[in-house]
Structure 1
Amino acid sequence: MKTKPHILWLALLSLNFGILAGCSDDNDNDNNPVDPTPPVSDVGVDISEATTLSAQIEAVNIDDKTQASVDFYLSNANGVAVIGLDKLDSIATLGVGIAKLGQPQPLLPNKDAVADYNTKDQMAEGKEWISYINNEVAPGSGAGTKAATEWQASIETSCKLDCIENLGSGHYRYTFSKALNGYSQFEGLDTSYDANATTRIYLELLPSSDSDVTKKLINITYDFVPATGAVAKADEGRQLIDPQQSCYRCHTADLGDTEHRLLMHGGKRFNFEGCVMCHTTYSGDPETGNPIDMATLVHKIHQADYKIVGHGGSMHDYSGVNYPGEIADCQSCHISDAATQAAQYYIPGNNSCLSCHKDKISQAPNTWNGTAASLFHDRELFPNAWANSCAGCHPDSNNPKGASLIHDQLLQTRSSIKDLYGMSLSAVTLDTDSLTAAIDFNKLNTFPAQNNAIKALWLVVNGKPDELTRPANNGQHKLWDISKDSSATRGMLPSDQVSLSMDGSKLTATISDVNTADFGTPAAAVVKAKMIVCANHNTMTAVNCDSDEADTQVEVMSANALDLTGANASRAIVADESKCQACHDSEMQQRIVDAHTLAGSAATNANFAPGNDKCGSCHNPVSATALTDGSCNSCHNNDTVAYMGADIYHTAGADHIKSFRTANNTLNYREMVHSLHAGTRTVKGMGAPRDETTYPQSAANCQACHDAGQLDFAGLKKENSQLVATVGATADGQVTELSPTVATCAGCHSKVADWAGHAREFGGVVEDNASAGRIYKAGDETCYYCHAEGQAYGVIKLHKEASQK
């Protein structure tokens, strides 16, 4: 079976035949017969001189004895043939695998239970890859209490050059060392050759151990159907995710990032579609007894609930992983229509189902045989699924989503609530003693106070946080609950401070006793509306907040933001919200509630009530409207640590700065985010334990969060300095002053003393004893001349170079 012949190769072969024919002597034909096989003609760049490598599988042949061979073309990045592979003395990595697409196979310890279930239930099952090359592996060093002999899918890696044949001009043939039916066969594991099954070839190649993996490491796959010789059609394969949209939205695809790249098995494998050929349903870790199929591996790693011993007896413990998204949101990774078989994750599988339902496994009866079928057929453990009969797990024409109908309920609930309660701001007016805002609802036309599903409707105002002289009390950040009528009690707010009126779908709120000076520059403020709606994720509807059915809350933000003059808000955005959501997803706001709520008892609830200017405006999680719109750094600003521990009115003072609030523990939003993602933060925070962040990219990759043009330092040039605790401080009030750019860098580069001299040469301030007050004057730093984006030593350029060292 041949497919996709390379044109250059055919041309060269034709030329060779022509030369032989032209030079032949008819009179000598009988005595000197021409060899029908022309000599190999090698034209191209030698592999020892090639700076890049690329490969393309062009043909696969499986004969009637199931002997398989793979023809591939090796070239450089420009498509020029690379010759000499077969003449190397040795090769670091050359592996080839072959697998068929078939019914999921069981783990060895559970093969009888799963096989028994499969004979009874012929409902929809997704197909899985089954390798023709497998091993039975006994536990080795590091074996635990659940150790057991396991099957493991594999590829052929030992034959290397012995299996390579040079076909000429960059074309090579790899012939497997055995026929497919000659590899180990195991009872209960169906590895019989199936010519009608979609079959995948995997090829990995790296010429030498010191080859640059970013330019020379090859991982490719090729899907075909042996019976027809055709390349497999899209609907004949199995691709459930698009790694670029799923894995690499958080992880890096840069193989040059040696610390964070997804390059596995000794630095030679990164191709996801190659990984799934060995990480199959039936492959297990013999030392722990844990499955190593891709679903279990990925699901449980992201739940911080996975350990395997792995090759060489080394333990891999992922209990320290902190996934920053909603683990129950399947579509964070299984994105609809992103891959050809994206919808196949709807089909339940033994290992994939068990990989997440740890709580149900702990409740399983003693008769449980270890399979998903036995567990999920318990109607008391899974009443919601059984409410839809068999279709609660197995997709059918009535419910094509199967169990994913339940998995997606939270996502669908949020989506439908946001659609129903969507809103926008149409007007904002700030007078000398009042603030008026008009909110237009998309579909709601009843007074919010009459809707018992609305828990709160906040009008949030965020003044400019980097004002050199901010309003007293950090008062530029305020919020009011405007969901209730004027007679409602609002914590410590006067009941007559807010008046409301409703005209059709427009709600107008007027807030009196507002001091215009509280907000700093009106045109620099950001005004948004934020609604909290109670819902039930099973029915995916809004419900009474006081009812037992209210099991989730949905945050609905206004579609737009205005400033205090009524114009569209125009505050400079210095980070990309969509990039934050790529890892944290769109519901990050809802998961930071516990981290910010200081109202731990009824006695403190009054002080921390939302809308209470004393504490509640800042110390309430409902105040944040997005991660990058300024609402977070309205509180988390240059002077925040000076407010900590001050009196209830937050009179700022350096003597209040805690001794542990050093440069990499400041609460200014920018430095806080940097230190969290860089892993330089040194305290747990707020007296409660906080897990270390497991950021999956290099902290030096500025573009993971920032778009082009956002790092011009324009804002930094105008900011005030920061007062932070002196390194090694033993008492509150021992403070150091850092100019704004210095403070920004210190979030990651926490050993400030090592580079303070350089900063001072260009106007930066590192004043170890700042007890006498600030000495820095805004604008004195000239760091941006060299380090702003696009400059000779711009931050993006420097950090990129640093991450590749």
Structure 2
Amino acid sequence: MESRHLQARIDVVFQALWRSGLLAAILLLGACGSGGDAEPEPATPVGELIAAAAADPANDTAAHPAAAFTVPQSAGVVAVQFGSAPRVNFTVISDGAVKRGLSLSNVSAIIAKLVPASGGEPAHWVSYTSSIETATAGVGPGGVPAVASAPQATMDPKQTDAALRAAQLTYHDEGYYTYTFRTDITDPTQTRGVSFEPTRTHRVSLQLSYVNAAGDTVRVNPSFDFTVDAQGRAVAVTDPSLTRRMSDTGSCNACHERLSAHGGGRVDTTFCVTCHNPGTTDANSGHTLDMATMTHKIHAGRRLKALLDANAGGEDYVLWGYRDEPQHYAEVGYPQDLRNCSKCHSAASPSTPQGDLWKTVVSKGACLTCHASGTGSAWRASHSVFNGGADPTTMPNAQCGACHLTGSNLDTARVHWNQNEDNASRYRMHIESAAYDPGTRQVTVRYHLSDPTAGDAAYELVTGDCTGSGSTLACPTSAKFGNLRFYLAYQNLPGQPTGITDFSAYNNGGNTAQVYAYRGDNDGHNHYTVRIAVPPDTATAVAAGSARVVSIGQVKEQKLQAKWATDPRPEVTPRELVNVVVQHTHADLALSGPLVPRRTIVSNEKCNACHAALGTTSGSNTLAEAFHSGARNTVESCAVCHDANRASSTVMTNGLALQESYQFQRMIHGIHGNSRRTHPYTHGNRVVDAFAKDGSSLTGGVPLAADVQNYAAEVAWSGIGIDCNACHVNGSHRVDWGQLGAVVSKPAGVTDPLQWLVISPKAASCTACHDSTQARAHVSAYGGASFGTQSQAWSLRHTEICADCHGSGGVMGVDRVHSQR
């Protein structure tokens, strides 16, 4: 308490010096220098030091924005100086040299101070520059603004006087720029009452845009954390405990490719928080625009709307943005479990020293986002203090922390435990060998399931709830390992080329080529051998070429208590089962000819950058809406069933009398590429019309059937564009080696899969996103492709010529038109 009073007295004296002008005079004398007190000249001129630093790729501003400040500082140039209005010194380095010629339109700046945590309230940033938003009449929830006006943090305004504007950004021949604030942040009449506290941690952030040598527009947000010394100069904050960095933009960009907001210029969370802090409010909706609250509610938007519809205390989260445009988030579903807080917040990264504060600092601004707290919510029911009608949003944060104590049963890190994914570390499937015997038409698989947390000890797969033995052995699906299986994926279309492996058997009589893992013969050490029978050849199905054994399934564990302070956690009562992810694997083998493993197109690691554990939860974060109950969590397993012959029993949404293809490559592009689609990609479609981009209906006003999974509405690609490399590996998107067309029509009575109608291979991929009438006509007329008018046999005999224009390096090469330059 004494130190806090001393700090307050220091700030008062410092501010009094600013008001009197004495400190400015001191600064002027200090700048001129006097006698032995003058700072020595650097051994090397500033310009030479900056030029040398610019030649180092590590200082390129596009790749390393912080170098905009650190390079001039290393050359002896102070990053921020105070006289009246702050002056910010920075450089821009591009293509090995200082970028000259920037104008004021290329630069915006903001300075915020960090208010430390106190009394249970978390630390937060406060901007010195703000404006008042006046709500437009008739704009808001139900056509009524929530409040008439509200403060909003903003960038430092540009000068309106021509002479002052010309001087607001200046370039120095030594290789750096100076931006002079219009706002004197030491004057509370210009900061709307926000007091200047020089000894607090401050952050200056820039919004820069410039064009590099390749002609690309670069947008970056360099930031610099500092305090102000007695001479009015910025001093870098080097102690990570004295700043606040909760999330890293790199974590955001794992899904968003390049975080981009407000026209594309805001690309870094370190910059975002200088505006999006508790002092900023959307007048139309009345919602705070604080980063923690806003970001959590956006990512939980779908769940909150579902709870609202169920009268369970949720909300329809809407913000009004640029030009009073409503921003709806009811269809935004976080593509993994909302309990995975460490995806965005982790102190394991040196760039986010406060990343673990979510575990110890509890705040209603963050918690009452995913946790709906309205009347009827489960959260209210579990907090009896609010059952009398008290408003949870008005409670002090200290009250939250009083219950959610570190080390207690309600420790935040403990209650966010996700058994489904966290216990995946205990289960890894190993395929030791897989070989085909053409005489018996059986694939012999040797394998074991191990516990990596216990020295890879092998599990016994037959548990006490299994019955019988030998050929009568049966384990129920509720048994711990009763769901683990092996599938055999292989080719069986007569005449199908074997030089490139495209699985085709599952939906052509080969779906019986599977076996439960528990049915294997145990060698006494929990290593097993099992045999998968390959179905007999027929006139329309001939096994040939290369195949793949894929493990699938989840482990059934007894659900354990999340609200528990110690390990081991006890089971919940009454007893309940929970699915737990397994680290699955696969093995390739040849049925005939040389082994040609199926090409690697996408990676599980890239999928899981967004999905954490592919298929185990959906955007609504409920197991009920997970794909196949979460049992398929690898792309290798998806490709087994979703082969070229898999088609829906319903029609396409574009009005054509065709079935929708659920071939893996077409389905995945259709789900993720809906931002380019004209018609929704659905599962179980019963309507035909163009898709309304607001995600609520079709343009004809006909709503989607209640049981339809409307991926085009529910899944929004989170990147700024369509970056194929976000999923693909080894440039696999540049050349589509697929041999089989995607089946879209199985005419009545036609059992020969070669006579089923298809979209030819390349067209099947491209029109999954580009589905307009014009796009379909283009691929058919110019690409030598078929869109449901020709058979699979025809497609195998004809070569699409799409690559003539769209091949890598072509005039409209995929590598160019889908690039993210």
Same fold (TM over 0.5): yes
State how 1:666-681 maps to structure 2 within 5 Å.
666-679=661-674, 680=677, 681=679
Cα offsets for 1:728-754 (capped at 9, x unmatched): xxxxxx996433223332222324666
CA gap of 1:471–1:543, structure 2 versus 1, over 3 A, is: farther
Amino acid at match of 2:642: H
SS in 2 for 1:278: coil
Equivalent of 2:587 in 561, 579, 602: 561
Q: In the superposition, relative to structure 1, how do residues 392 and 437 fare at CA in structure 2: closer, same or farther (>3 Å)?
A: farther
CA shift at 1:683, angstroms? 5.3
**Do the aligned residues in 2 keep the contact of 1:437 with 1:509 (CA within 8 Å)?**
yes
CA distance in 1, matches of 2:179, 2:514: 71
Match of 2:640 in 1: 634
Equivalent position amino acid for 1:155 in 2: M
Which position in structure 1 is the counterpart of 2:799? 780
- Please name the residue that 1:652 is paired with: none
Q: Which has the larger radius of gyration?
A: 1
Q: Confirm or deny that 1:423 pairs with 2:441.
A: no
Displacement of 1:668 after TM fit? 1.8
> Aligned to 1:715, which of 737, 751, 755?
737
Q: Of 384, 387, 390, which residue of structure 2 is paired with 1:368?
A: 390
Which residue identity is paired with 1:233? T
Q: What is residue 176 of structure 1 aligned with on the other side?
A: 181
Amino acid at match of 1:525: R
Shift of 1:239: 1.7
8 Å CA contact 1:138, 1:286 repeated in 2: yes
Q: Counterpart of 1:653?
A: none
Q: CA deviation at 1:357?
A: 1.1
Aligned to 1:348: 362
Residue identity opposite 1:132 in structure 2? Y
SS in 1 for 2:446: strand
Answer whether contact 2:559 2:572 (CA < 8 A) is retained.
Answer: no
After TM superposition, the structure 1 stretch with the greater mean CA deviation from structure 2, 743-752 or 195-204, is 743-752
**CA-CA distance at 1:696 after TM superposition:** 2.1
TM-score (norm 1): 0.69
Structure 1 residues 314 and 465, CA, compared in 2 at 3 Å: closer, same or farther?
farther
Deviation at 1:199, TM superposition (A): 0.9
Contact 2:652 2:658 in 1 (8 A): no
Stretches of structure 2 lacking an aligned partner (at least 5 in a row): 1-26, 32-38, 50-61, 302-315, 381-385, 451-456, 466-478, 497-503, 686-706, 748-754
Higher mean displacement: 736-745 or 470-479? 470-479
Structure 1 residues 776 and 60: alpha-carbon distance in aligned structure 2, compared to 1, 3 A threshold: closer
Q: What do the CA deviations read for 1:231-276 (whole angstroms, capped 9, x no partner)?
A: 11150322222212x22112132xxxxxxx7131x55433322211
SS in 2 for 1:130: strand
Residues 285/9 of structure 1: CA separation in 2 closer, same or farther (3 Å cut):
farther
1:182 positional shift: 1.7
How far 1:290 moved relative to its partner? 0.6
* AA aligned opposite 2:723: N
Q: CA deviation at 1:423?
A: 2.8
State the distance in 1 between where 2:811 and 2:357 align.
49
Look up the match of 1:195.
198
What are the residue-to-residue correspondences of 1:264-343 with 2, within 5 Å?
A: 264=262, 266-304=263-301, 305-310=316-321, 312-338=323-349, 339-341=351-353, 342-343=355-356
Alignment check: 8 A CA contact 1:465 1:633 kept = no
> Aligned equivalents of 2:654 and 2:622: distance in 1?
21
**Is the partner of 2:98 in helix, strand or coil?**
coil
Match for 2:769 among 748, 771, 774?
A: 748
Shift of residue 100, structure 1, vs aligned partner: 1.2
CA pair 624-366 structure 1, distance change in 2 beyond 3 A: same
2:165 matched to 1:158?
A: no
| CA–CA separation in structure 2 for the residues paired with 1:148 and 1:4 | 57
Secondary structure of the corresponding residue to residue 358 of structure 1? coil
Unaligned runs of 5+ in 1: 14-50, 86-90, 105-117, 254-260, 379-389, 485-497, 600-618, 646-655, 727-733
2 CA distance for matches of 1:12 and 1:708?
41
Letter of the aligned partner of 1:195 in structure 2? Answer: P
Is residue 263 of structure 1 aligned with residue 282 of structure 2? no
How far apart, CA to CA, are the structure 1 residues paired with 2:346 and 2:494? 42
Counterpart Cα distance in 2 of 1:529 and 1:767: 33
- What is residue 482 of structure 1 aligned with on the other side? 516
Partners of 1:663 and 1:743 within 8 A in 2? no
Matched, 1:690 2:709: yes
| Equivalent residues of 2:561, 2:572 under 8 A apart | no
Percent of residue pairs identical: 19
Query: Using the alignment, how far apart are the partners of 1:694 and 1:665 within structure 2?
Result: 20
Structure 2 contact 545–590 (Cα < 8 Å) conserved: yes
Partner Cα distance (2:261, 2:775) in 1: 33
Deviations 1:573-597 (A, max 9, x none): 2222222222222242454999999
Partner Cα separation in structure 1 for residue 45 and residue 463 of structure 2: 77
1:635 is aligned with what amino acid? C
Q: Select between 296-305 and 582-591 the one with higher mean Cα deviation.
A: 582-591
Contact 1:640 1:667 in 2 (8 A): yes
Could you say which residue in structure 2 is the equivalent of 1:550?
576
CA–CA distance in 1 between the matches of 2:795 and 2:178?
70
Provide closer, same or farther for how the CA distance between residues 218 and 570 of structure 1 changes in structure 2, counting only shifts above 3 A: closer
Which letter maps to 1:272?
T
Task: Work out whether residues 464 and 521 of structure 1, in 8 Å CA contact, stay in contact via their aligned partners in 2.
Answer: yes
**Aligned counterpart, 1:525:** 548
Q: Does structure 1 retain, via aligned residues, the 8 Å contact 2:245–2:270?
A: yes
C-alpha distance 306-736 of structure 1, shift in aligned 2 (>3 A): same
Whether 1:578 aligns to 2:605 is yes
Q: Is structure 2 residue 129 aligned with structure 1 residue 133? A: yes
Query: 1:433 deviation in Å?
Result: 5.8
SS in 2 for 1:556: coil
Q: Give 1:611's aligned residue.
A: none
> 1:96 is matched with which residue?
109
Other structure's SS at 1:526 match:
strand
Q: How far off its partner does 1:401 sit? A: 11
1:441 paired to 2:460: no
Query: 2:668 is matched by which residue type in structure 1?
Result: V
**1:561 partner SS:** strand
Q: How far is the alpha carbon of 1:329 from its aligned partner?
A: 1.4
SS at match of 1:574: coil
How far is the alpha carbon of 1:353 from its aligned partner? 1.7
State the aligned residue count: 658
**Secondary structure at the counterpart of residue 743 of structure 1:** helix
Give the alignment's Cα RMSD to 1 decimal.
4.9
The answer (yes or no) to whether the contact 2:741–2:760 under 8 Å persists in 1 is yes
